[in-house]
Every structure is written in structure tokens, then in C-alpha cells.
């Protein structure tokens, strides 16, 4: 995978929110939130898992931010992981 060898650790910490009220949030904005906050985690885990397992293991840490527990003040934020 990399010249330095297989990954030993993956930390998924990226997240975005929408600075709009729920009623004003477009489907495209919501899709962007899902792409970063959920789909990216899935794709990155799938990318690093095979070489990690081949190397005997590793660590994957998925971090959620506090606002991900709901609609922060009526604004769509990251859905709680894992989705």
C-alpha cells in the first residue's frame, strides 16, 4: 500500500455540518454531510483493513463530535456514527 509498509492506525475524525436551518437545508448539502461523516469512514476502513489484517492487525478509531447527537438548534449536523 505504502512504501513505509501497511498502516498500523487509522483515525477517522473528519466531520462537517450545515450552517442552515433544517427546513432550508438542500438534499445536496445533506448528501455532503453523509459523504464526509459516514461514507468516508466506510471507504477508508475498507481501504486499510486488508493490509492491516495481512500485517497481523492494527487499530481503527472512529471519532464523533458532540454535536453529532442530533439537530443542533434546528441545523443538520453529523449523524451519530455509525449512522
Q: What's the pLDDT at 1?
A: 52
The HSE-up count of residue 39 (CA atoms within 13 Å, CB side) is: 7
Q: What's the pLDDT at 47?
A: 95
Q: What is the arithmetic mean of pLDDT over 24-30?
A: 91
Cis geometry, peptide bond prior to residue 82 (ω within 30 degrees of 0): yes
Which positions ≥6 away from 61 have C-beta within 8 Å? 9, 10, 11, 12
Whole-structure pTM value: 0.72
Amino acid at each position: 500500500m505504502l512504501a513505509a509498509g501497511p498502516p498500523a492506525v487509522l483515525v477517522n475524525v473528519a466531520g462537517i455540518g450545515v450552517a442552515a436551518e433544517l427546513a432550508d437545508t438542500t438534499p445536496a448539502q445533506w448528501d455532503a454531510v453523509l459523504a464526509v461523516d459516514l461514507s468516508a469512514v466506510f471507504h477508508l476502513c475498507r481501504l486499510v483493513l486488508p493490509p492491516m489484517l495481512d500485517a497481523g492487525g492494527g487499530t481503527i478509531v472512529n471519532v464523533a463530535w458532540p454535536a453529532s447527537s442530533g439537530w443542533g438548534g434546528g441545523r443538520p449536523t453529523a449523524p451519530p456514527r455509525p449512522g
